[in-house]
């Protein structure tokens, strides 16, 4: 994490991880928190004492989360991230309040920045041509879907993820599948479970027999592009797959309020009244992939442009796909990581 915070000297970056029952604020104060500090909180987690302290002393508070082009491998396997967002207003997946990303999309003068829009088009084209996505984990395969029906892809999500809690309250994967089937009885519905759920790291599993009551096929360990290349529509709560589908010219229907909804590019069941502007695709891409995140060069460990990271991720992905020994080493590492996290959780429960 340290290289992402280039505005802070390394010695001034203090990370805290309290034991169960230990006060976050007390531990932070012991480690050097003072009235001149900036506070960074992961995601949308709420720490009442810490947040009261920031208000009392008028400190800057930022929320941190993975970016939209992250790594070759899952975050839940503790794979090194190469993209982070650092948000001073809120966080992109919480539509209950404005985030820096929403502010950018609502207010930035894209029309006056042709260079940025050209860069967005180049990045979008590269992503599509190289078939890159957030995790870049699975192989490309050829699938056999019916050619006489519209193909609807429904991406599964991690059900206890904050993006669901804040952006699609009251929904889960099975509820989404039921709603999609109810409105599309004749179409061919493909369900793609979330990779973190498939790995057993997160919540959101649906029994195959139950899911197949509402979809025609379940696709698991294949690349996202292997599925999207056949899709006529994507129906999602708040999944990033919706954004990746928009970039590929696929119709997107949202059932929650993801960051890419409300700008005239998707069909949305819910609305966010703050979002009053219509954007074109490259304006959305410019805001979400160029202006909002920070990217890290895997080689130099310094902040870099989106283009530099994309080239590095493509090289890393090709190595993963083409080298059997490298792939096995990564899978062994991930297995150890998952078991270690389970053991740590078990120990902390006592």
Beta strand 188-192 with 151-155 is parallel
Examine the pLDDT at 179 and tell me if it is beyond 80.
yes
Pair 119, 295: CB distance under 8 Å: no
**pLDDT higher than threshold 60 for residue 113:** yes
Three-state SS for 119?
helix
Residues 204, 231: contact at Cβ < 8 Å?
no
Alpha carbon distances (Å) from 307 to 40, 116, 292, 313, 316: 27, 13, 15, 10, 14
Angle at 196 between CA 343 and CA 166, to 5 degrees: 105
Task: Report residue 136's pLDDT band, with 50, 70 and 90 as the boundaries.
Answer: low
> pTM for the full model?
0.88
Per-residue pLDDT, 161: 81
> What is the rounded CA–CA span in Å between residue 292 and residue 101?
6
Residues 241-263, mean pLDDT to the nearest whole number: 97
In whole numbers, what is the pLDDT of the chain averaged over residues? 88
pLDDT digits (tens, 9 = 90+) for 30-76: 999 998 899 999 999 888 999 999 999 999 999 999 999 887 655 55
pLDDT at residue number 339: 61
119: tokens are 């860069």
Residue in the block written with tokens 């280039």: 6
- Which residue has 């879907």 as its token pair? 145
Rounded CA-CA distance 28/17 in Å is 9
Looking at the predicted structure, is the pLDDT value of residue 80 above 50?
Answer: yes
Percent of the chain with pLDDT over 70: 88
Task: Summarize the confidence of residues 276-296 as an average pLDDT.
Answer: 97
Angle between helices 306-322 and 324-348 (to 10 degrees): 100
Locate 9 and state its tokens: 């000297």
Q: What's the whole-number mean pLDDT along residues 161-171?
A: 85
pLDDT tens for 301-331 read 899 999 999 998 888 877 777 777 767 777 6
Please report, rounded to a whole number, the percentage of residues in the chain having pLDDT higher than 90: 60
Distance CA 242, CA 178 (A): 18
Residue 198: per-residue pLDDT: 66
Residue 341: which pLDDT band, with cuts at 50, 70 and 90?
low
| Per-domain boundaries in the chain | 137-277
What is the spatial distance between Cα 275 and Cα 44, in angstroms, rounded to a whole number? 21
pLDDT band at 350 (very low <50, low <70, confident <90, very high): low
Parallel, antiparallel or unpaired: strands 83-87 and 293-296:
antiparallel
In the predicted model, what is the mean pLDDT of residues 138-162?
Answer: 88
CB 279 within 8 A of CB 264: yes
How high is the pLDDT of residue 332?
73
d(CA 226, CA 81): 24
Confidence of residue 202 (pLDDT cuts 50, 70, 90): very low
Question: Residues 141-152: what's their mean pLDDT?
Answer: 94
Candidate CATH numbers 3.20.20.150, 3.40.50.2000, 3.40.50.300, 3.30.70.20; the one for domain 137-277: 3.40.50.2000
Measured between alpha carbons, how far is 230 from 140 in angstroms, rounded to an integer? 13
Measure the CA dihedral 122/229/322/335, to 10°: 110
3-state helix, strand, coil in the chain (%, to 5): 40, 15, 45
pLDDT at 6: 77
What DSSP character marks residue 81?
P
pLDDT at 335 (0 to 100): 66
Is 260:288 a contact under the CB 8 Å cutoff?
yes
């Amino acid at each position: 994490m340290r290289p992402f915070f280039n505005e802070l000297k390394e010695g001034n970056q203090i990370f805290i991880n309290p034991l169960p029952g230990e006060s976050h604020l007390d531990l932070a104060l012991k480690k050097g928190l003072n009235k001149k500090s900036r506070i960074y909180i992961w995601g949308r987690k709420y720490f009442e004492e810490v947040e009261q302290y920031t208000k009392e002393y008028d400190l800057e508070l930022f929320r941190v989360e993975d970016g939209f082009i992250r790594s070759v491998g899952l975050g839940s396997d503790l794979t090194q991230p190469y993209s982070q967002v650092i948000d001073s207003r809120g966080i992109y997946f919480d539509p209950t309040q404005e985030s820096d990303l929403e502010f950018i999309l609502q207010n930035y003068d894209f029309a006056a920045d042709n260079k940025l829009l050209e860069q967005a088009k180049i990045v979008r084209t590269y992503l599509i041509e190289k078939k890159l996505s957030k995790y870049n984990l699975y192989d490309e395969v050829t699938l056999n879907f019916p050619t006489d029906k519209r193909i609807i892809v429904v991406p599964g999500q991690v059900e206890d993820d904050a993006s669901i809690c804040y952006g699609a309250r009251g929904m889960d994967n099975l509820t989404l599948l039921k709603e999609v089937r109810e409105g599309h009885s004749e179409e061919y519905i493909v369900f793609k479970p979330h990779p973190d759920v498939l790995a057993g790291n997160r919540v959101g599993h649906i029994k195959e027999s139950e899911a197949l009551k509402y979809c025609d096929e379940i696709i698991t360990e294949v690349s996202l592009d292997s599925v999207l290349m056949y899709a006529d529509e994507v129906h999602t709560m708040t999944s990033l797959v919706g954004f990746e589908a928009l970039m590929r010219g696929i119709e997107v229907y949202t059932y929650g309020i993801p960051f890419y909804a409300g700008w005239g590019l998707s069909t949305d069941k819910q609305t966010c009244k703050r979002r009053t502007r219509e954007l074109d695709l490259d304006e959305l891409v410019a805001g979400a992939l160029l202006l909002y995140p920070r990217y890290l060069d895997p080689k130099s460990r310094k902040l870099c442009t989106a283009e530099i990271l994309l080239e590095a991720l493509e090289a890393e992905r090709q190595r993963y796909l083409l080298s059997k020994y490298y792939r096995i080493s990564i899978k062994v590492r991930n297995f150890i990581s998952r078991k270690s996290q389970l053991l740590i959780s078990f120990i902390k429960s006592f």
